[in-house]
Each structure stands twice: as structure tokens, then as C-alpha cells.
Amino acid sequence: MSVTPSIALQLYSVREAAGENLGSTLARAAEIGFTQIELYNLVGWRAELERELAANGLTAPTAHAPLSNANAEEAFEAAAALGVKTLIDPMIAPERWTSLDDIRQNAEQLAGHAELAKSYGLTFGYHNHFWEVENTFGGRTAIEILAEQLPAEMTLEIDAYWAAVGGADVPALLTALGDRVRQLHVKDAPAVDGGLSKDRLDQLPAGDGAIAWAPILEAAPQTELLVVEFDEYRGDIFDGIAQGLVGTRALLEGAK
């Protein structure tokens, strides 16, 4: 990689613990070795996050906020107050990716949020799941078609796991998306029947599964942040994120 990205933890991974005690959850993440957190629920937890991030020596370069069903201004205001640099919409529902007109409408909505982000001194981005690559039009993925219609300042946070289980050639996808990709979500999947398991309960720390990470990292040299994240995890989630941090560091070492 042309730059060495930093590593963050997506707070959603430890959502159950955070819901019980946000401060102790962030303290434990810091003890494991994380220095950066990708936030979620930043509006609901704004005051606590402001206090507990500082108390634990953590920063939050990015945050997720589902702006399709939330007050966008409130989310951008909270992000700016918490020192976030890039606010990311984590999902547009799968039924809104089934036609070219769907994609056009998604691009228009995201562009509106990107324009609003500028007024708060923020960058705006979008994070994928599997349906943005599973839906194809003329041999091209929906996420590629979306990218062409987004304003130049918008970024993409590509979840390499979801792109892979969705059937994409992830390095080729990253190459096509180019320097819009500034963050990558990193988690792994085991091999099943010649492919990858699509069961989210099978998610593994990066490097412990069958996803080939070296070509993925090589195809995204402009990536600034690798985010350790699990939608679900069968074992102890704190063990999972600790292994995820070790595995992600190892991937970076291998990419040098």
C-alpha cells in the first residue's frame, strides 16, 4: 500500500456491552490496543461519547449514521462535535438497489447529504453490504454505477467481507472504484462448498478465513483506515476484536 492506514474498531461490534456500559466498553477497547473508534449511535450517546473517548485516549475519525431514516442535521452536528472527519451512511435497504432508477435516486439522496456535510466541515461516505455487488447491470455492480453518479468529494467505505460474499472480485471492484475508497471494513469468512460462507454468524477475524487479503490491500493503496468489525460473532466478542486487531496488523505488515 502506498500509505500505511491506521486501524479502528467499529463500535457496533460491541454494541451489547456498549449498551450496558459505554465507558467500560471503550476502556476495554483501549486496553486491547485500539486507539481509534468508528462510532455509531453518535446522537443518542453524544454526551457520553464526548466524555469517554477523551477519558480513554480514543479518537473517532469516522462514524456511521443511517441518514435515510434520521435527522441528518442532528447527526452531522454530533459528528462535528465529536471530532469525526467522515460521516458514513451504513446502509440503504436492499430493495432500493434493484434497478438503475433505484441507483439514481440513491445517488441523489447521498449527494444531498454530501452537500450538507460540507457545511459542517465533514466528508460524507457510504458503506456497502452484499446487495450492492450482487445486483449487477450490464455486467457491472450497482456500487460501481452508484460511484459514477456521486459528487467528487464523496468517499466509499468498502466492506471487503460483504463484497466477497456477495460474489464480487474484490480487488477488481476496488480498482474500478479507485481513490473514492478511503476506508475498508475487515473481517473474514470460512470456505464452504468451494465458496465463502454467507452466514454472518460465521464471521472471523481478518486472516483467519478464506478471503485473500493481499490483493485486496494492494488494490486499495489510497485507503486511510482499516476498520475491525463484526456484524455477529460466535465467540466472546472482545476476544474476537482482539484477534481482529492482531490479524489486521499482520495484514498490514504483509502488505509492506
Pick the CATH number of 6-255 from 3.40.50.460, 3.20.20.150, 3.40.30.10, 3.30.450.20: 3.20.20.150
Q: Residue 3: its pLDDT value, please?
A: 75
In percent, the amount of the chain with pLDDT more than 90 equals 95
Among candidates 164, 202, 201, which has minimal Cα distance to 185? 164
pLDDT at 1: 63
**Mean pLDDT, residues 215-231 taken together:** 97
- Burial pattern 32-70, b for ≥16 Cβ within 10 A else e, equals bebebbbbbbbbebbeebbebbeebebebbbbbbebbee
- Give the mean pLDDT of the chain: 96
Q: What is the pLDDT of residue 123?
A: 98
Q: Angle, to 10 degrees, between the axis of helix 100-119 and the axis of helix 72-81? A: 50
Q: Considering Cα of 222, then 227, then 229, then 231, what sign does the dihedral take?
A: negative
pLDDT, tens only, 230-250: 999 999 999 999 999 999 999
Q: What is the pLDDT of residue 2?
A: 67
Strands (E) located in the chain: 6-10, 37-38, 62-64, 86-89, 123-127, 136-137, 140-141, 155-159, 181-186, 191-192, 195-196, 225-228
Angstrom distance (rounded) from CA 202 to CA 208: 11
Q: What are phi and psi of 227, to 5 degrees?
A: -115, 115
Q: What is the pLDDT of residues 75-103, one digit of tens each?
A: 999 999 999 999 999 999 999 999 999 99
**Is the distance from CB of 149 to CB of 167 less than 8 angstroms?**
no
Query: Which residues make Cβ contacts (< 8 Å) with residue 212, sequence separation at least 6?
Result: none
| Residue 17: all three cell numbers together | 456491552
CA dist., res. 164 & res. 200, Å (int): 13
Name residue, grid cell 468489525.
229
Q: For position 255, what pLDDT does the model report? A: 80
Whether residue 228 is predicted with pLDDT greater than 90 in this model: the reply is yes
